[in-house]
Structure 1
Amino acid sequence: MQQLLDNDVLKSFVAIAEHGSFTRAARQVHRTPSAISMQIKRLEETVGKTLFVRDSKQVRLTADGEILLSYGRRLLKLNEEAMQQFLSPALEGRVGFGTSDDVGTRILPRLLAQFSRSYPAVQVDVVVGSSRTNFQKVNYGDLDMALVVVGNEGQQTRGEIVHSEPLVWAGLEGGIALHQSPLPVALAYQGCVWRWMAMESLDKANIPYRVAYTCEHSSGQEAAMLADFAVAPFPLGLVRPPLRKLGDDRLPEMGNYQIALVRGKANPINDALAAFVKEAFANFNA
């Protein structure tokens, strides 16, 4: 009969891989270093591969160890979801969730799929709109929570910061918009943090510009750049060919923008979805 991987052993293995130390991993899994050393020895015997390279300073994964780490994380996650399905209190109801389109395209599909598997009796109503509009809807009670874009790091804001990312200048690869004067820029409507960060940076650098394209969503800015109609402030993680990050020295840096999770009244359903949102961003940032 084929041997199966033990969850407790996988927890120790993943902890060692993430901490680079048997001692630190032992504290996390509440075992002694010698005990988890024996676990790893049995695991290596089970899979027939050497999983770690040990030296005087740290413990590093081998190529086979890296492969097993990917499987191990997924197996532990699936086990956690299965236990949550049967052991968590049953939740039923609806939750209103607001987001901007740049977040929705990257985070929401997997997040909502996982949440739906864990809480099939909860209906999630998603509203895609501007941060300003969704923020107001949370305040008015029309939404239970929303992901909103906020300004530079260090600035006070309502909600919990769940993501930080560089805002960069982007444009069409080989395009001419960058070389025009005044510089044509594609911005969101008044009140958008990206708009404020872009205009402030250009003003401080004394760069003449004109707002050539105004839109509600980042997809509109992307369309303007693809048409080589303008350049735009854009999240680094969304810059994909044929767009490119513009490294021209004359364009000033804008720094990082952040995404905050803003919540209305707390209840078990909202708490459950908020936990999934924060975990999704933690994995996205890793």
Structure 2
Amino acid sequence: MLRNLDMTALRSFVTVAEMGGVTRAAGVLNLTQSAVSMQLKRLEESLDLSLLDRSARTIGLTPAGEQLLGYARKILSVNDEALSRLTATEYEGEIKLGVPHDIIYPWVPQALRRFAADFPRMQVKLVSAPTRRLLNMLGRGEIDLILTTEERSGPGGQVLVELPLLWIGAIGGSAWRRKPLPIAFCSNCIFRSGVLQALNTHDVHWEMAVESELDNAVEAAVSADLGVHVALEGCLPRHTEVIHHGGALPPLPSQKINMYRLKQDDAVSAALAEIVRQTYVSPPPLRAVAMG
């Protein structure tokens, strides 16, 4: 049967070991000497071990006490860190994270779960907007941390990952075989100008078959095989797949997912940024979906 160590007694034990005696430890702990002695006795009885060597003028540790001291320090450190993180008022409030719609999945939910566990008193406001709008919001000081999709990183940006940009269409669809090529794009999509330029450079005739200000409307049209679109590897919308066109469509440049922070000296945004960075180091799930 598992038993639990008495945290109060452990703290008294560590303090006695560090102060070299009960009297000094009692002063540090703001307890009476008898209270500290009782806690030490209770700890020894619970373990059925002698932890303190009382044969000399100053109290020393037995071999068992020396072994426990290392564990006790670790236990108290974790306890104090947890209490500080869960109750500290400086970790209360709201933090705003901006992410383009098409890269929310699969990494961002993982990062938000970890952050919520570490900072349960902080509320995360997730803002979904195109890269250009997020950069403008950051410049105006309206958001704390943003992720972007860009061919290169701007001033102050940190590259999290570089991914190929892929042609996508409906599962089993044939829109990519039509001439002119039907394209589906949001009017504010950051990939749009580069994709159209690639098509023009390779003399691929195209038409804007679907245009909308809403990402999910474009995704619905693509999944219905009304046109083709592009997505970063690992970030495909549901009901779509990579088009294996055998060179019929032009190659596309890879894109970087970058991270920008408003305040470099803010501890909470720094913690969220590190969690996001660590999440992007991990491989994404085999089938990642962007959901409208």
User: Do the structures match in fold with TM over 0.5?
Assistant: yes
Q: Is 1:281 equivalent to 2:283 in the alignment?
A: no
The residue type paired with residue 150 of structure 2 is V
Which blocks of at least 5 consecutive residues in structure 2 are unaligned?
3-77, 286-292
Q: 1:104 to 1:247 in 2, by over 3 A?
A: same
**Deviations for 1:63-109, whole angstroms, at most 9, x for unmatched residues?**
xxxxxxxxxxxxxxxxxx99964576942222111111222232222
Give, in angstroms, the shift of residue 157 of structure 1.
Answer: 1.9
Secondary structure of 2:164's counterpart equals: strand
Distance 1:84 1:253 in 2: 51
The residue type paired with residue 168 of structure 1 is L
Q: Is 1:198 equivalent to 2:203 in the alignment?
A: no
Distance 1:99 1:214 in 2: 21
Give, in angstroms, the shift of residue 193 of structure 1.
Answer: 2.9
Distance 2:164 2:81 in 1: 35
**Deviations for 1:220-275, whole angstroms, at most 9, x for unmatched residues?**
33211111110111222133774221122210110311111111122111111111
Distance 1:103 1:179 in 2: 27
Give, in angstroms, the shift of residue 112 of structure 1.
Answer: 1.1
In the other structure, the counterpart of 2:109 is 109
Distance 2:121 2:102 in 1: 28
Give, in angstroms, the shift of residue 125 of structure 1.
Answer: 1.2
Instruction: State the TM-score, normalized to the length of structure 1.
Output: 0.64
The residue type paired with residue 169 of structure 2 is G
In the other structure, the counterpart of 1:226 is 223
Which aligned runs of 4 or more in structure 1 are off by greater than 4 angstroms? 81-84, 86-89
Q: How does 1:68-217 map to 2 (within 5 A)?
A: 85-86=82-83, 90=88, 91-151=91-151, 155-158=152-155, 159-190=157-188, 192-216=189-213
Query: Is contact 2:132-2:190 (8 Å) kept?
Result: no
Secondary structure of 2:231's counterpart equals: strand
Percent of aligned positions that are identical: 25
Q: 1:139 to 1:223 in 2, by over 3 A?
A: same
Q: 1:108 to 1:83 in 2, by over 3 A?
A: farther
Query: Is contact 1:169-1:232 (8 Å) kept?
Result: yes
The residue type paired with residue 187 of structure 1 is F
Q: 1:85 to 1:200 in 2, by over 3 A?
A: farther
Distance 2:176 2:170 in 1: 9
Q: 1:186 to 1:240 in 2, by over 3 A?
A: closer
Give, in angstroms, the shift of residue 121 of structure 1.
Answer: 1.5
Q: Based on CA coordinates, which of the two structures has the bigger radius of gyration?
A: 2
Query: Is contact 1:84-1:118 (8 Å) kept?
Result: no
Give, in angstroms, the shift of residue 156 of structure 1.
Answer: 4.6
Secondary structure of 1:244's counterpart equals: strand
Instruction: Count how many residue pairs are aligned between Structure 1 and Structure 2.
Output: 204
Query: Is contact 1:130-1:217 (8 Å) kept?
Result: no
Instruction: State the TM-score, normalized to the length of structure 2.
Output: 0.63
Distance 1:238 1:217 in 2: 17
**Deviations for 1:134-188, whole angstroms, at most 9, x for unmatched residues?**
111111111011111112xxx3523111122111111123323112211111122
Distance 1:218 1:82 in 2: 45
The residue type paired with residue 167 of structure 1 is L
Distance 1:103 1:233 in 2: 12
Q: 1:241 to 1:120 in 2, by over 3 A?
A: closer
Give, in angstroms, the shift of residue 215 of structure 1.
Answer: 3.2
Secondary structure of 2:169's counterpart equals: strand
**Deviations for 1:42-68, whole angstroms, at most 9, x for unmatched residues?**
xxxxxxxxxxxxxxxxxxxxxxxxxxx
Secondary structure of 1:284's counterpart equals: coil
Secondary structure of 2:222's counterpart equals: helix
Distance 1:277 1:225 in 2: 30
Q: 1:215 to 1:84 in 2, by over 3 A?
A: farther
Distance 2:267 2:275 in 1: 13
Query: Is contact 2:102-2:231 (8 Å) kept?
Result: no
